[in-house]
Structure 1
Amino acid sequence: MKTLITASALLLCSVAYAHNCPNEMKAIDAKLGTSPSLSMQDMDKVKSLRAQGEKMHKEGKHDESMKALGDAKKLLGL
């Protein structure tokens, strides 16, 4: 019984985590909409990481997606 409860909790956490990718993308997009003062190199990197995050999210690779999106947010100061 404990195993079933633990498995259910892990499944719910992973589903909730997977659905956070779009929220992270929205936060990045909102910040990009304010024309942040970044170097051209950093801006290109943010856009690349944002695109990678979306691609990985669509492929079901949510851990990798959150990593890329997190890196983009760090560059943006979020």
Structure 2
Amino acid sequence: MKRLIVIAILIFGFASPAMADHCRKDIRIIQAALQGQNNAKAEKLLTKGRKLHKAGKHDEAETALHQAMKMLGIKH
């Protein structure tokens, strides 16, 4: 049982930085797509995604960022 807990902690420890990096990548892609566009809904989702990312809520941030990407026609 202890071994399983240690493995779970290690997996989560390695996954969290990867998720954070994924958020930053999506943010850059959305920012580039918004250049020269006026899409208030996508901008709101981008702002929401940034705030959630900074708060460490990467799953929620990804959801918001992926919605913005879909709105902008960006395949993920």
Which TM class, normalised by the smaller chain length?
0.7 to 0.9
Deviations 1:13-51 (A, max 9, x none): 122112211111000011112x35xxx6xx110000000
Point out where structure 2 has 5 or more consecutive residues left out of the alignment: none
Equivalent residues in 2 for 1:1-78 (5 A)?
A: 1-33=3-35, 35-36=36-37, 43-78=39-74
Identical residues among aligned pairs (%): 35
1:55 aligned partner, one-letter code: K
1:14 aligned partner, one-letter code: S
Provide the rounded CA distance (Å) in 2 between the counterparts of 1:6 and 1:61: 19
Point out where structure 1 has 5 or more consecutive residues left out of the alignment: none
**RMSD (Å), alpha carbons:** 1.6
Q: How many pairs were matched up?
A: 72
Q: TM-score, normalised by structure 2?
A: 0.81
Runs of 4+ in structure 1 off by over 2 angstroms are 1-7
Identify which of structures 1 and 2 has the higher relative contact order when contacts are C-alpha pairs closer than 8 Å and 6+ apart: 1
Q: TM-score, normalised by structure 1?
A: 0.79
1:46 aligned partner, one-letter code: A
